[in-house]
Amino acid sequence: MDILVIDIGGTSAKLWHTAHDEHLKFDSGKELTPEKMVSEVKEMTKDWNYEAIALGLPCRISNGKPVEDPPNLGSGWVGYNYASAFGLPVRIINDASLQALGSYDGGRMLFIGLGTAVGSAYIAERLILSLDLGRLMHAKGSVFELLGYKGLDKLGTKKAQEILHEIIPTLKSAMMADYVVLGGGSAKKFDSLPDGVRRGHNRTVVEGGRKLWEELNDPADKGSNDWVVI
């Protein structure tokens, strides 16, 4: 099955294809509405062939649909008919959950995505739970304020790495996770990671999109889904 995987963050949107190595990207931000997103995606992928779409959005998703507008994007994401706009079947999941699904190797896994904001998700025993751990407080501020793009720029890599080594083991213990995957664009900035933490890669979102279509049933149909997506 050829799947277009759309990973939308607060700064950029990345377009991946399960049969291609390369990816495309365009700017997102406060001016990006779903209409503009669909138009941009169609234009940029007009030479690609795909049968279905996996869409990762940086907001809360319930039953396969966004229930709030992403805080770093424009408005109109709730109630928008994505399948009709694309003319293809679309499955939607939280963006951190999409990368987490692609990174998952079994057991209890905590995923932390460092980007414009701090995304997070937890997977265990066929449960995919989207989280908002960026709101948790550290002595010097929230996790988002410290490890989001603006926080990293303000702190500098050395100080941010010290804070990372304080925060991530605590979150791992609190979630009783077997391991942590640190993803997102800023993960590569750190020279060392705490024990039990491995670096993810943006391309794992492609595997997440494949699994969303080929290993999971439709998240909107809870009755037929042997995975629970929350």
pLDDT of 202 > 90? The answer is no
Farthest CA pair distance, the chain: 50
* Cβ neighbour number for residue 31 with a 10 Å cutoff: 9
Domains 3-97+203-217 and 106-199 share a fold: yes
Q: Residue 101: what pLDDT?
A: 96
Structure tokens given for 35: 């209409």
pLDDT of 44 > 60? The answer is yes
**pLDDT tens, position by position, 78-103:** 999 999 999 999 999 999 999 999 99
What's the CATH code, domain 3-97+203-217? 3.30.420.40
CATH 3.30.420.40 for domain 106-199, yes or no, is yes
Mean pLDDT: which of 94-108, 136-150, 195-209 is highest? Answer: 94-108
Cβ atoms of 120 and 230 closer than 8 Å: no
- Running DSSP on this structure, what letter comes out for residue 230? -
The domains of the chain are located at 3-97+203-217, 106-199
* Cβ neighbour number for residue 125 with a 10 Å cutoff: 9
pLDDT of 201 > 90? The answer is no
> Strands, E, within 164-206: which ranges?
179-183, 197-199
Rounded Cα–Cα distance for residues 160 and 152 (Å) = 6
CA 92 to chain centre: 11
* Cβ neighbour number for residue 25 with a 10 Å cutoff: 15
Indicate the pTM of the whole model. Answer: 0.91
Q: Residue 15: what pLDDT?
A: 97
